Amino acid sequence: MAEPTATPRPRALVVADSDSYLKWAVRRAEDLRDAYDVEVVVVRNAVTPSTAQRAAAIDGRLDTDPGEIGLRALAARLRAERPALLLLACRGPLIELLLLEELRGERAADVVVAGIPGIWFPPTALGLRLRAACDVMVVHSEREREAVTAMLADLPADARLAHLGLASLLEDQEVGGADRPRIVFAPQALVPARREDRVALLDALVDVARAHPELDVVIKLRGTAGEAQTHEEADGFEQLAAGREVPGNLVFAHGALREYLGDCAGFVTVSSTAALEAIAADVPVLVVDEFGVSAQMINLVFEGSGLFGGLDDLRALRFRAPATAWMDANYFQAEGDWVAVAQEAAGASAPGATMRDPHAGLMRSPQRLRRRSVALGAGDDSWHGPALAPLRAALAAYDRLQRRRRGSQGNRG
């Protein structure tokens, strides 16, 4: 008598574009492994991570390095293979482009999930509109859930919200040690936007290094010069320090943040999800409020945390522990329900249903072309003919201008 054939496990495809989204994607792939056969791929785009960025984002958590795929090839694969779950760990313009342009509203999977890699408070209307064709959107705290729910009421979107607490994925990380104690500064690409403010930050870090030769002052960078990042950084700290006389104990470093949190006397940032990693590692934190507290500074979420302080606090090494009530209301809750919500949404979707297009009939061709340029940049292999070279150049120049403008406004779509 023949043995019964094992039922194949459902497949999940996790698609990432930039360095920070790849880091988030890898951890979400771990969440899915109990219920799905999971594959992670990187789509070629305007901010495709370098080899070094990929290694830092993956951090030894995958058995094999993610494959790289073009957007058109990805759309063709989704049409042919339609996975049970598609997780789009991508910037909004690329998500919109894949679902509504390349797939033309065809259902990409039984359930399509998207989310932001880390802090997303307050949420942006643009970020939500670009993901409005998805079935499930992942938020990272009850505070974010409330804010997104309120905003979705004014948008043509039917997405369910799922919750994912960040504490569980942060607390299990092993931190690296060091021969000397150190403080770590994690820059944010978008804020502060003004060059003089970034110089003031660097000046304070230099002052700390000079006043405390027993400490290493580590500026932990996301990438090296020339590497693309999720958000384009103007006036990077390594460039600002070039040509200046700085003490030898002020150093620039790369790689996974956890490698620098051991033997860490304090962690400082203006606005970065990395602060959550430091909190989870029991490192005291300072969130610099010298340049204001606002949505534009992307630091409203830290109100009530007890972590705010100015550059004088940095010079005095006055780091803080977060308020327990703030931790409970924000990112240090239970693990979350996002996989269960996604499975429930998959079971409720009609097999032949199409994705909702929230922009149907509203978007002019130039806007769609610009969004395509923002999403794919040089990774777009669909219009490389010489006749289109002037248009590509014009769109690239316009894109650079817009990215700088978005940076000054704290736009995180």
Instruction: List the domains of the chain with CATH numbers.
Output: 11-165+334-348 (3.40.50.2000), 182-323 (3.40.50.2000), 365-409 (no CATH)
**In the numeric block, which tokens belong to residue 408?**
């000054």
Rounded CA-CA distance 197/191 in Å is: 9
* Residues ≥6 apart with Cβ < 8 Å to 215: 180, 181, 182, 183, 208, 209, 249, 265
Please tell me what DSSP assigns to residue 131: T
Residue of higher predicted confidence among 263 and 218: 218
Rounded CA-CA distance 199/278 in Å is: 24
Place of tokens 């200046």: 244
CA angle 66, 186, 14 (to 5 degrees): 20
Q: For residue 180, is pLDDT > 90?
A: yes
What pLDDT digit, counting tens, does each position of 10-29 carry?
A: 999 999 999 999 999 999 99
Residue of higher predicted confidence among 235 and 223: 235
Neighbours of 231 (CB within 10 A): 21
C-alpha dihedral, 402 to 406 to 412 to 413, nearest 10°: -40
Strands (E), 90-159: 111-115, 136-139
Closest CA to 302 of 331, 281, 282: 331
Rounded CA-CA distance 113/154 in Å is: 20
Please tell me what DSSP assigns to residue 6: P
pLDDT band, residue 240 (cuts 50/70/90) = very high
pLDDT band, residue 287 (cuts 50/70/90) = very high
What pLDDT digit, counting tens, does each position of 112-125 carry?
A: 999 998 888 999 99
Q: Evaluate whether 53 touches 223 at the Cβ level (below 8 Å).
A: yes
pLDDT band, residue 190 (cuts 50/70/90) = confident
CA angle 408, 410, 413 (to 5 degrees): 125
Q: What pLDDT is stored for residue 377 in this prediction? A: 83
Q: Evaluate whether 260 touches 182 at the Cβ level (below 8 Å).
A: yes
* Residues ≥6 apart with Cβ < 8 Å to 326: 302, 304, 305, 306
Closest CA to 13 of 95, 74, 62: 74
Q: Evaluate whether 208 touches 181 at the Cβ level (below 8 Å).
A: no
Q: Evaluate whether 266 touches 286 at the Cβ level (below 8 Å).
A: yes
Q: What pLDDT is stored for residue 181 in this prediction? A: 95
Q: What is the mean pLDDT of the chain?
A: 86
Strands (E), 35-173: 37-43, 67-69, 85-89, 111-115, 136-139, 160-163
Q: For residue 128, is pLDDT > 80?
A: yes
Transcribe 310-349 into DSSP letters. Answer: -HHHHHTT--BPPPHHHHHHTT-S--B-HHHHHHHHHHHS
Rounded CA-CA distance 292/334 in Å is: 31
Q: What pLDDT is stored for residue 339 in this prediction? A: 95
pLDDT band, residue 142 (cuts 50/70/90) = confident
What pLDDT digit, counting tens, does each position of 353-405 carry?
A: 666 555 544 455 667 777 787 888 878 877 554 555 666 666 666 656 655 55
For residue 242, give the amino acid letter.
A
Exposure of 340 by Cβ count < 10 A (0-12 exposed, 13-18 middle, 19+ buried)? Answer: exposed
**In the numeric block, which tokens belong to residue 402?**
């817009």
